[in-house]
Every structure is written in C-alpha cells, then in structure tokens.
Structure 1
Amino acid sequence: MSAGTFDAAWALAHDIPGWLTPDQARLLWDTALAASPAPVVLEIGSYQGRSTVVLGSAVAQTGGRVVAVDPFVDDWKYGSPLTQGRFEAHLQRAAVADRVELLKEYSTRARPTWNSPIDVLFIDGKHDVWTVLDDLKWATHVPDGAPVLIHDCFSSVGITLGVLTLLRPGARLRYRDRAGSLARFEVGSPGMAGRLRLLAEMPWWARNLGMKVLLRLRLNTIARRLGHDSPYDPY
C-alpha cells in the first residue's frame, strides 16, 4: 500500500534527488488530497520522482491518478538515459506506480492534443519564459476555483517573468499563497487584490536572484550573513 499520511509519504520521497522542500511537499500533498474525488493531477517535470511520489501517495487515498509529463531526454543538469529508470524505480519502491501514468513527451508538444479535464496542475518544467507561458495554457483544462501550482515561481527569471503576465487584464489565474518558492494559484479572475498579492512577492524574488548571484561569485559567506544558509540556489 502507498503512504497513508504525509509523514509516511515524505519518508518515502525525501531521499529521492530533487529540489522539493518538506513544506513544499506538504503543500502538494494537502492540495492533491483536497481535490475532488478520484482527481487527475497533471505534473509537468518529474525528474526522479520526488514530487511524483508525494502526489501519487496523496491521490491513492481518494482513488485518483497522476499524469507525469516528462520527455526524459539528455540534459546536463536534470536528465540522462538513466533518469527514467530511476524515476520508475522510485515509484515502485513507494508503491505508487499504479497511480502514475507517464506521458513521455515535452509539455509543449503534449498540450495541443490534450483534451481531458485536470483537477490539479503542477508546473515544474523548463524555466525559460516561453515554455512557462505555454505551460500556463494547460490551465484551460482546470475548472474554476481549482489549483495550479508552480515551482520555483519566485526564484527564477524565466518563470517569474512568465507569471507576471497574469497581471494583465483578462488573466484567468489568481495568486493565493506559497511555500518557499512553490506558489499556489487558482483558476479565476485575479482582481486587484490578487494582482497586488502577486506584486508583493517581487522584493522576495529580487532577494532570491541576489542570492544566486552571490553563490555564482562564490560569496557564500555573504549569502549566509544575509540569511541564505545553504550552498544551493533558493527554491
């Protein structure tokens, strides 16, 4: 059986390589668990399955499934021919493989032919602005009031620039809250309050970019003095 509590799910997921923090994993778990009965959760970008195991464990409680969209191609940072095998092995170890359907494709190629409802959308794919803008279009399959979660939302130039387009008139996603740089939106008109909440995160985004610059310059001591006590980028 899959993990029946968040603590059990995180115990299975925490040692899988990835960039999901415990509080972010908890937000994914709570959001998936609160979705409609037998929800469809679509995850863009799975890597070795840390977030997939958390989501798969959550939907197992309500009879749902996760669709994991990832091409598993060679990439200097995120992938290799071995990554898919590790991903599948981690799902098997966590006993959630039967809850996860792998769509081995680029999200930008899969989206135009997708025609099924999505109850929860989790975006953690390529971080360039053009891919982010395309990935946001998956939200057309998410009903009003349902959640859209975006990882690294306030720690990446490409993602944040893409998300800032939600300030425009006619946008259909409103910002709710975040766990670290995992932001939770919901489908619906943002209104002035939602736009102001999103804008209020921009100083924190600028702070995270500053930390990245310090780490690239190997000024880790200064970064620690400014509150970033980690050798890794803020995420």
Structure 2
Amino acid sequence: MIPDLPANIDELKGFLARDEAEALYQYALESSARGPVLEIGSYCGKSTIYLGLACRQHNSTVFALDHHRGSEEHQQGEYFHDPELYDTGEGQVDTFKEFRRNIASAGLNDTVVPVVASSAAAARHWQTPLAMVFIDGGHSLEAALSDYRCWTAHLQRGGILAIHDLFEDAHEGGQAPFAIYRMAKASGLFADIGRVNTLGFLRRL
C-alpha cells in the first residue's frame, strides 16, 4: 500500500504498468534516504508521482527532467500521438501543463523539481550526486545512449539505475532501452538486481 497515492492515478496519461510503478516506488523509497532521484522522461507525471511520494518520506527530491515536447513516437502522425497534448497555437506537443497539474494535485510541488530541458543540456554542468536514475526518455538509440552516458556517471555507489521499456523482441517494442540495459550489465559497473515487467533495475557497484 502506497500512502497518499491519488485515487485517479490509473486515469493519468502515461505508460507505466501498476506492477512497474510499485517497484519504482519501493526502489525510490530505499534510494531517497541517501540522496535525490532523477527521472528522465516525465511525460505527464504519472511515474513522477510514484517517485515523489517515495522521496517525500525522506524529505528528499525528485528532479523530473523532460523537454515536454514529446518523444519521437508522440509527434503528429505517430502511433502514440495524443491530440489533447498538442498545442495548435505553437504547432508542438506540450505535456508540461498536464504535468504541472498532476504534480500539484498530488501535493508534490515541494518534492518534485521540474527540469525543462534536453537531457544533454541539463547534464552539461550537473554536480549533484544521485541516489537513483530512472531512464524513460526518448526511445531512439541516439536519445537512449545520450541519457545513459550523461547521467550514469552521477549515480552514487550503491545507487539504483532503472530503465523502462525493455523488450528483447523488436516486434514488441523499441530496442534502444534494451541496448543501454545490456550496455550497463556489460560495463562491470552495475549488478543486475531484477526486472518487473518491462522495467529493469541495476545497482551501481
């Protein structure tokens, strides 16, 4: 049972299964006792709420990193495009308004710090050690590699690396997250500590 979980959590826009969300919460609860959590790819804040509720237990912080213009698959004409998140005035996807509304509704404005930027731009001068990094950003190989290379260096020893949307079979989903998951396991820097559905967890050695 997760304390203060919003009653409408399953109605929020997002792609996180309930078993994945609960595992994410448990690892964030463990990790946030030692430092802040970074989420890459917040979308409308569904996963951010689970992370935020865990971090609030230890008066910690979630840095929620997203440019809020949607990944490749969210653009017009693509499979996961949502017309409700498209700003016709700007001619772009804009998920930030929905994100802010959901975080405020969950009472997490003092726990979640939005970072509205590309992953590479945010990482350029980053100095804060992280207790957990959750990679759920763009699913192109270029985007996934950038997220992995930019942020794993900031993960504390003993910290958790979580990677979402792991599919061995290309017919089931994109292969970029699985590629960086294999890269992490082969690096000698991480121990594989298990998977829940399509969400993999590793611990920094």
Please classify the TM superposition score into its range, dividing by the shorter chain length. Answer: 0.7 to 0.9
Contact 2:63–2:114 under 8 Å retained in 1: yes
1:165 deviates by 2.3
Q: Is 1:11 equivalent to 2:7 in the alignment?
A: yes
**Could you say what secondary structure the match of 1:11 adopts?**
coil
How far apart in 2 are the matches of 1:64 and 1:100?
9
Match of 1:49 in 2: 45
Task: Report the structure number with the largest CA radius of gyration.
Answer: 1
Residue 139 of structure 1, CA deviation: 1.3
Taking structure 1 as reference, are residues 132 and 103 closer, same or farther at Cα in structure 2, changes over 3 Å only? same
Q: Which amino acid aligns with 1:30?
A: Q
Matched with 2:55 is 59
Counterpart contact for 2:32–2:54, Cα < 8 Å: no
CA contact (8 A) 1:28 1:55 kept: yes
Structure 1 66/162 Cα, relative in aligned 2: closer, same or farther at 3 Å? same
Alignment of 1:153 with 2:166, yes or no, is: yes
Q: Which residue does 1:127 correspond to in 2?
A: 139
- 1:174 matched to 2:187: no
Choose between structure 1 and 2: higher helix proportion: 1
User: How far did 1:71 drift?
Assistant: 0.4
1:113 Cα offset (Å): 1.7
Q: Comparing 41-50 with 69-78, which one deviates more in the overlay?
A: 69-78
> Equivalent residue of 2:51, what SS?
helix
Which digits, 9 at most, give the CA deviation of each residue in 1:149-189, with x for residues without a partner? 01102342122123222354x4422221111001111112x
Q: Conserved in 2, the CA contact under 8 Å of 1:38 and 1:63?
A: no
SS in 2 for 1:58: helix
SS at match of 1:17: coil
The unaligned stretches of length 5 or more in structure 1 are 189-235
Cα deviation, 1:193-228, whole Å, max 9, x if unaligned, reads: xxxxxxxxxxxxxxxxxxxxxxxxxxxxxxxxxxxx
Which structure has more RCO (C-alpha within 8 Å, separation ≥ 6)? 2
- Does 2:36 match 1:40? yes
Query: Which residue is equivalent to 2:99?
Result: 87
Question: Is 1:103 aligned to residue 115 of structure 2?
Answer: yes
Please tell me whether the aligned partners of residues 68 and 102 of structure 1 are also in contact (alpha carbons under 8 angstroms): yes
Change over 3 Å in CA distance of 1:174–1:132 after alignment to 2: farther
Q: Between the two proteins, what is the percent identity of the paired residues?
A: 28
Say if 1:159 and 1:40 are closer, same or farther in 2 by CA, change over 3 A.
same
Q: Give the whole-Å Cα distance in 1 for the aligned partners of 2:34 and 2:162.
A: 19
Which one-letter code corresponds to 1:162 in the other structure? I
Task: Verify the 8 A CA contact 2:41 2:64 in the aligned structure 1.
Answer: yes
Of the structure 1 ranges 10-19 and 120-129, higher mean CA displacement relative to structure 2 is found in: 10-19
Report the residue type matching 1:164 in the other structure: R
TM-score norm. by structure 2 comes to 0.81
Q: Deviations over 1:78-110 (max 9, x none)?
A: 764442111100011110111111110011222
Between the aligned partners of 2:30 and 2:197, the Cα distance in structure 1 is 20
